[in-house]
Amino acid sequence: MSGGESPGKEKHARAVGARVPVALWIPATLALALVTLPVIGLLLRTDFARLPALLTSEASLHALRLSLLTAAISTVLCVLLGVPLAIVLARSRVRGVRVLRAVVLLPLVLPPVVGGLALLYLLGRTGFLGYLIDVTTGVRVPFTTAAVVIAQTFVAMPFLVVSVEGAVRAAGDDFESVAATLGARPWTVFTRVTCPLLLPALASGVVLSFARALGEFGATITFAGSLQGVTRTLPLEVYAQAEADVDSAVALSLLLIVIAIAVIVLARPRAVEGVRG
């Protein structure tokens, strides 16, 4: 994919014929340094001899397993809830949908800690929904693995919604109208036309939400706490180890960076298009 990407970009640059002013190179280099140097710093600090042992310690493995599990479940929830929401937001002509759209994007700009706190006061024992659930079913949501999933879904869903909604808007509704006149019922239109058309945007949305869920920290620690094996995901483990065993924290950070790079390589070209569209 990256092989097919570069010739297109070169052609584009030539077509525009714009030369980059020299003055832009200085801040551009600084920006690049700001992004790359910390990673290099982390690499230099890594104790590569102890790396395998640090990554396979019981706490690390717990955190890794928990992170992958919760992020996967959150991503599935994002898809199941986010795709219908994106379609409604893009298509509905009901008044107030614009306001709704802004609300949905809130977790994107909100500090995750605030999100976590809000979830705690909704689903905590004193929160109105939390109290209701506690009284009726005896279930307490906060500080459980389920709370981790809820926190991750909360912060990650906007990525999926934005990506898919953009694609729905860009596609317009002619594709669906044609299908209807050709004999397709609404559900058939959805499965045979809408879904396949949205697949590329959905793929990039999935990768982005998964990455966001995997990296979730603020909402998780506030709403779910940091209990090893239950709610302490990789980022929380990094935070916990930063005090206790710096080498371990660095090793886990490296792992998260590797995963992040994999995500970028996997999804970047489509993801950027999706968000823009």
Shortest CB 104 distance to other proteins, Å = 25
Q: Which residue has the tokens 């998780």?
A: 220
Shortest CB 14 distance to other proteins, Å = 23
Residue 179 lies near other proteins (rule: CB under 8 A): yes
Q: Environment class of residue 5 by beta-carbon count within 10 Å: exposed (0-12), middle (13-18) or buried (19+)?
A: exposed
d(CA 89, CA 75): 20
- Among the listed ranges 108-116, 136-144, 152-160, 186-194, the one in contact with other proteins (CB under 8 A) is 186-194
Q: Which two tokens stand for residue 230?
A: 């239950």
Residue 237 CB coordination number (10 Å) = 25
Closer to other proteins by CB, 174 or 243: give it: 174
Residue 192 lies near other proteins (rule: CB under 8 A): yes
Residue 27 lies near other proteins (rule: CB under 8 A): no
Torsions phi, psi for 7 (to 5 deg): -60, -35
Closer to other proteins by CB, 56 or 188: give it: 188
Residue 185 lies near other proteins (rule: CB under 8 A): yes
228's CB contacts (< 8 A; 6+ apart) are: 59, 62, 63
Closer to other proteins by CB, 23 or 199: give it: 199
Shortest CB 200 distance to other proteins, Å = 9
d(CA 170, CA 102): 19
List interacting residues with other proteins (CB under 8 A): 172, 174-175, 177-185, 188, 192-193, 196-197, 199
